Amino acid sequence: MSLQDRREHMERCTRCSQCKWVPIPASKQFSSICPSIEYGSFHAYSGGGKNITAYAMLENKASYSGDLVRSVYACTMCGACDTMCKFLQGENVDLLSNLYELRARIASDGQAPKVYDDLRKQLREEGTFLGKRHERSRWAQGLSIKDITQRPADVFLHVGCNNAYDASRWRELTFIVSLLDKAGIDFGIAFDAEVNSGGVAFDLGFQEDARQLAEQTLALFRASKARTIVTCSADSYATFRNIYPRLGLSIEADILHVTQFVSSLVKEGRLKIDARSSETLTYHDACRLGRLSEPFEPWNGSRIKVLEQLSVQDPPQRVRFGVGGHYEVPRDLLAQIRGAEIVEMERNREYSYCCGAGGAASKAYPEFAQMAAASRLDEAVAAGATTLVTASSTCTSHLATVAEQRNMPLKVKGLFELLADLTGEMSS
């Protein structure tokens, strides 16, 4: 796939600006769906604007500049514009695919923001952009967990970079481990052999780096012979389901997010949630657990004209409308907390607003990422929540930091962090 291959799709953009908005806003304040246009204001920052930039590059009508790069990279690749574009345009534009190729072109031209050079180097050398390779499993020190690279296990527990390197997330990890132990699951982790799954490199346009990381990850999975991969990382979950198929790669085992796995254990009666709270909780749908985790299905076909003038995909292509993400299971888990009131933010599920943490945009444009988080936190407060809960550690870390900076009357918790707080542990 190349930018040129996307031309026909790009041409279908009507410049309707639906990619800036939720379909039917519940208020003016929370009507936007795109942090990038909120930040940059010029149309070029919107999903549709980036699409025009891509097309203008093909037509030699856009030359590289600081403004061009900022308008493309001050963006979390959250996919909301794609979901909204598909709302109106169905299969016509397939915006997210255009954005991936736009970034790939910019990156291969060596024009991506310079801060990403370091990130890339670190990814190559350390297998992560958050620390050193040998520090990856510090969180697991003192725990008795099977090393799946040495001994086989039924379940490969995939940890994810943010969980592994952000010490504030370790409590969640140890809690998850305790749950799996309680339920009698035969599982293991890859300790320092795990590497970044490649999603961030792909988002930034470094598709070859992404492929290499993906292949390393797949090799680990294959070698483990585990039938089930359970990932604690929303970022990786989206990468496995949405990015790997774009790279022509597939995973032979079943892939589950840890919320799904734990929820199924609860349903099977192998775990019981015994938690009580008087808080008002709201759930933040992380983009990468939600709309971006909807599986991508490779398609090889063309457009044909039917009914004289109607252009359709032949053979039919499965279109990702954002509804195939992972929305209800985390809510079901929260709903089991007795006494807690659960309220929805105005922008939820496939229309969720990105908190600004994704796609490593915060590395190049921290003020952009903070702006997005502030809007999301305000929305939680407006919904009446006292605690915002999310099932992505990247979102949790970022939202918690911004909430603290802004001194907000709102707690930010990871879902398992909250359960750990409320139960101390789950009973089996």
Partner 1 sequence: MTLLSTEVFNELCTILGAAYVNRDDNFLASHDWVGIGGSSATKTLLGNPPGAIVLPSSTEEVAAVVKTCVKHGIKFKAHSTGYGNLAGVGTAGSVCIDLRRMNRLQIDAANQMAILEPYVTAGQLLAEARKVGLFCHVIGAGPVHSPLASATSFCGVGLPGNFTSNNARNLLSLEWVTPMGEIVRIGSAGSGEDWFTGEGPGPGFRGILRGVLGSLGGLGVFTKIGYKLHPWSGPQKMELTGRNPLLGMRLPPNFKFHQVAWDSWEAMSAATFEFNAANIVTVMTRVPPDCIGLMLTQTNREYYDSFKSGQLPPVARSDAGYGWSMLLTAYSDEEIKYKEEVFDAIVHRTGGREVPTTQEEQELLALTLTTSIHVGRSGRRGMGGGTSMGVLDSFALLPKVAKLTEELMEDPLAKGWMINAHPDQNWMWPSEGRHFWTENAPNCDRTDLEATAGNMEYTLASFNKADQRGGDVGISAFLIGDAADLYGPGLGHVNDWMRKTKNAFDPQNLSDSKAYIQPEMTTVAKVWPLAKKFLFRPAFKSVLHNAMKRLVT
CB of 344 to partner 1, least distance (A): 11
* Closer Cβ to partner 1, 13 or 399, answer by number: 13
Residues 6+ apart with CB under 8 A from 77: 96, 99, 100, 103, 203, 358, 359, 361
> 3-state SS of 268-334?
CCCCECCCECCCEEEEECCCCCCHHHCCCCCCCCEEEEECCCEEEEECCCCCCCCCCCCCHHHHHHH
Q: Is 89 in the site for partner 1 (CB under 8 A)?
A: yes
Q: Is 17 in the site for ligand SF4 (CB under 6 A)?
A: yes
* Closer Cβ to ligand SF4, 34 or 173, answer by number: 34
CB of 354 to ligand SF4, least distance (A): 6
Q: Is 250 in the site for ligand SF4 (CB under 6 A)?
A: no
Stretches 112-120, 161-169, 277-285, 301-309: which one binds partner 1 (CB under 8 A)?
301-309
Q: Is 104 in the site for partner 1 (CB under 8 A)?
A: no
* Closer Cβ to partner 1, 225 or 305, answer by number: 305
Residues 101, 93: Cα–Cα separation, whole Å: 13
Q: Is 352 in the site for partner 1 (CB under 8 A)?
A: no
Q: Is 24 in the site for partner 1 (CB under 8 A)?
A: yes
Given 129, 175, 351, 365, the residue binding partner 1 (CB under 8 A): 351
Stretches 50-58, 174-182, 368-376, 416-424: which one binds partner 1 (CB under 8 A)?
50-58
35 binding partner (options ligand SF4, partner 1, none; Cβ < 5 to 8 Å by kind) = ligand SF4
Given 75, 292, 395, 403, the residue binding ligand SF4 (CB under 6 A): 75
| Count of chain residues binding partner 1 (CB under 8 A) | 65
Given 2, 4, 5, 61, the residue binding partner 1 (CB under 8 A): 61
* Closer Cβ to ligand SF4, 275 or 402, answer by number: 402
* Residue, CB closest to ligand SF4: 48
For residues 367 to 406, the per-residue mask of contacts with partner 1, x marking binding by CB under 8 A and - elsewhere, is ----------------------------------------
CB of 196 to ligand SF4, least distance (A): 20
Residues 331, 326: Cα–Cα separation, whole Å: 10
Residues 24, 42: Cα–Cα separation, whole Å: 23
Binding site for partner 1 (CB under 8 A): 10-18, 20-28, 31, 41-44, 48-49, 52-53, 55-57, 59, 61-63, 65, 67-68, 71, 83, 86-92, 305-314, 316-317, 319, 321-323, 349-351
Applying CB under 6 A, the residues found at the interface with ligand SF4 are 13-19, 34-36, 46-48, 50-51, 75-81, 84-85, 88-89, 93, 95, 354
